[in-house]
């Protein structure tokens, strides 16, 4: 009985601490992200995007707000591209860094992507928040070279016309992924 209670409270305590760490990391990043939480895109959705957007070895794939970096790792594995991720949520950044150890083609920066030029990208991937999409559109329009492909999960880029809209899989993964070409 005592052992059971001890195990229960230990697990509950660990879960509580994890929740607190998550909440704290969101709280410190929210002034930059303007509401975009650290929520990962499902593997089904990332794969659906990568199967649609073929890349050549050595091309540059950038995830602006890379979360745990899963899209970068999958793109590198599938196409042998170079990957760059920007992340301002400390928990997501640490996770992305740890999980990407050993992937020498991937670089992850603890940095606001608005502060860097994205002009070398061949493919941009994002899953941000509606409040910033207008600003993101403006930045991408002014920096990206013709032919660069952009994938935006869930939210449209104002001022762009999608080349295609993916709706991958069943109802769990069915939110749109908008694909644009500069
Ligand atoms: C919804 S998550 C998506 C994560 C990842 N792209 C994925 O699809 O799994 C959005 C992430 O973008 C990050 N983010 C939002 N605005 C950012 C900015 N200006 N610079 C860097 N990271 C940003 C957030 O911290 C959050 O972790």
Helix or strand (DSSP H, E) at 29: helix 2-33
114 lines ligand 1 (CB under 6 A): yes
38 CB within 6 A, ligand 1: yes
Ligand 1 touching residue 41 (CB < 6 A): yes
- Establish if 32 belongs to a structural domain: no
Asked if residue 1 belongs to a domain, the reply is: no
CB-based contacts of 130, cutoff 8 Å, min separation 6: 35, 155
95 domain residue, yes or no: yes
Per-chain mean pLDDT for the chain: 91
pLDDT of residue 56: 97
**pTM to 2 decimals?**
0.90
- Structural domains counted in the chain: 1
User: Would 53 be classed as within a structural domain?
Assistant: yes
C-alpha 85 – ligand 1 centre gap (Å): 9
Do residues 81 and 111 lie in contact, with contact meaning Cβ atoms separated by under 8 Å? no
Residue ID of nearest Cα to ligand 1 atom 12: 65
Q: State the number of CA atoms in the 13 A half-sphere of 153 facing the CB.
A: 26
Is residue 161 in a domain? Answer: yes
Residue 12 within a domain? no
Backbone angles phi, psi at 180, to 5 degrees: -125, 155
Is 3 a domain residue?
no
pLDDT band at 52 (very low <50, low <70, confident <90, very high): very high
Domain assignment of residue 8, yes or no: no
Domain that holds residue 48: 43-181
Q: Is residue 140 scored above 70 in pLDDT? A: yes
Q: Is the CB of residue 108 below 6 angstroms from any atom belonging to ligand 1? A: no
CATH number at residue 123: 3.40.50.150
């Amino acid at each position: 009985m005592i052992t059971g209670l001890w195990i229960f409270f230990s697990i509950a305590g660990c879960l509580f601490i994890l929740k607190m760490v998550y909440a704290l990391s969101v709280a410190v990043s929210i002034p930059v992200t303007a509401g975009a939480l650290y929520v990962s895109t499902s593997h089904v959705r990332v794969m659906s995007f990568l199967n649609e957007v073929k890349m050549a070895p050595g091309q540059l794939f950038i995830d602006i707000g890379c979360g745990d970096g899963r899209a970068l790792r999958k793109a590198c594995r599938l196409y042998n591209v170079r990957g760059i991720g920007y992340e301002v949520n400390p928990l997501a950044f640490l996770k992305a860094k740890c999980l990407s150890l050993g992937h020498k083609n991937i670089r992850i920066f603890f940095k606001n992507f608005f502060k860097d030029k994205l002009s070398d990208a061949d493919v941009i991937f994002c899953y941000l928040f509606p409040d910033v999409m207008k600003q993101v559109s403006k930045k991408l329009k002014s920096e990206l070279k013709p032919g660069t492909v952009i994938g935006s999960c869930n939210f449209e880029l104002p001022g762009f016309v999608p080349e295609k809209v993916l709706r991958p899989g069943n109802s769990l993964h069915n939110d749109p992924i908008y694909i644009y070409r500069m």
